Amino acid sequence: MAPRVVVVSLASDFGCQVQLTNMEDDLLDVLGLMDLTYWQLASSGHMPDAYDVAIIEGAVTTTEHVELLKDVRSKAAAVVAIGTCAVTGGIPALANTAGLETRYATVYGGGVAVAPGRIAPAPIDSIIDVDYHVPGCPIDTAEFLRGLSRVLQGLSDHMPDQMMCASCKVSENACFLEVGTVCLGLVTRAGCKAKCPSLGRPCTGCRGIAPDANLASAREVFARYGCDPASLASSLLVYNTAAEVTA
């Protein structure tokens, strides 16, 4: 029987789900492999009670999200986190940089009843066990397909642990640091083939800090190349607030 799949979204801008619809070339093949029982973005159905695979986008920002995740975990055999919001807390987690309530008051004014049950934004795996991760803001469709293949074949999760610079060199890019431009590739998780540097833009770290990153040395590198060493931590905040950047 084809696995029953649900696509669930928490706090995000739906960008990763839009990426799923963008993989036109492979969409029919992919849909042929599964019984897609619920996808809020693409249909008006309701979340079923039983399913095998839950693909989750977005950060956890409310107590309702927490309950939903626990429910999903109790039902799904495999939980897949897609996008940096889900994997590191991503951009939604920025709400917590100046204290959650202060931030809400600044944005919405005092006393307005927005986001009831709000909590400090967090990645999904701070609440439940996550079996597969596909980072990226937004996700890369080829990487999603590779991840999905691992889910369907029952293989283990496989996020690359190393940094971006090796793939950047493979693309024969000139290094941004050499011209004093802040690039986060040297501490950011590889796996996108250094897409931004190859398109002429520095890496903004959208895939999160790589577990093998050497942040202390990266600060010294910044200083040597004329980039403010403090900008390493501040630039990394954009996608890693919830991860505690100790650079």
Residues that bind other proteins (CB under 8 A): 25-26, 29-30, 32-33, 145-146, 149, 152-153, 161-166, 168-170, 172-175, 177, 186-187, 212-214, 216-218, 220-221, 224-225
Return the one option of ligand SF4, other proteins, none that residue 176 interacts with (CB less than 5 to 8 A, by type). ligand SF4
C-alpha pair distances (Å), 205 with each of 2, 120, 193, 233: 36, 21, 13, 11
Q: Give the residue with the Cβ less far from ligand SF4, 61 or 167.
A: 167
- CA–CA gap between residue 58 and residue 82 (Å, rounded): 8
Least distance CB 28 / other proteins (angstroms): 9
> Of 84 and 235, which has the nearer Cβ to ligand SF4?
235
Q: Is 86 in the site for ligand SF4 (CB under 6 A)?
A: no
Q: Enumerate helices (H) and strands (E) in the chain, giving the number of each.
A: 10, 7
Of ligand SF4, other proteins, none, which one sits near residue 170, judging by CB under 5 to 8 A according to partner kind? Answer: other proteins
If one asks whether residue 173 binds ligand SF4 (CB under 6 A), the answer comes out as yes
Of residues 164, 182, 206, 232, which one binds ligand SF4 by CB under 6 A?
A: 164
Number of other CB atoms surrounding residue 37 within 10 Å: 20
CA angle 200, 203, 209 (to 5 degrees): 165
Q: List the one residue out of 153, 156, 135, 155 whose CA is nearest residue 144.
A: 135
The residue whose Cβ lies closest to ligand SF4 is: 185
Among 39, 132, 176, 239, binds ligand SF4 (CB under 6 A): 176
Give the count of beta carbons closer than 10 Å to the beta carbon of residue 56.
28
β-pairing, 53-57 with 78-82?
parallel
For residue 175, state whether it binds ligand SF4 (rule: CB under 6 A): yes
194 binds ligand SF4 (CB under 6 A): yes
Among residues 11, 91, 159, 165, the one that binds ligand SF4 under rule CB under 6 A:
165
Q: Are strands 118-122 and 60-62 parallel, antiparallel or unpaired?
A: antiparallel
Q: Which of 55, 237, 234 is nearest to 139 (CA)?
A: 55
| Residue 96 to residue 3: CA distance in whole angstroms | 37
Q: What are the tokens at 132?
A: 């597969």
Which of 36, 183, 227, 238 is in the footprint of ligand SF4 by CB under 6 A? 183
Closest distance of CB 104 from other proteins, Å: 38
Under rule CB under 6 A, residue 159 binds ligand SF4:
no
Tokens 């501490």 identify what position?
Answer: 187
Q: Is 3 exposed, middle or buried (0-12, 13-18, 19+ CB in 10 A)?
A: middle
CB closer to ligand SF4 out of 47 and 175? 175
- AA letter at 137: C
132 contacts which partner out of ligand SF4, other proteins, none, CB within 5 to 8 A by kind? Answer: none
List of residues contacting ligand SF4 (CB under 6 A): 164-165, 168, 173, 175-177, 183, 185-186, 194, 197, 203
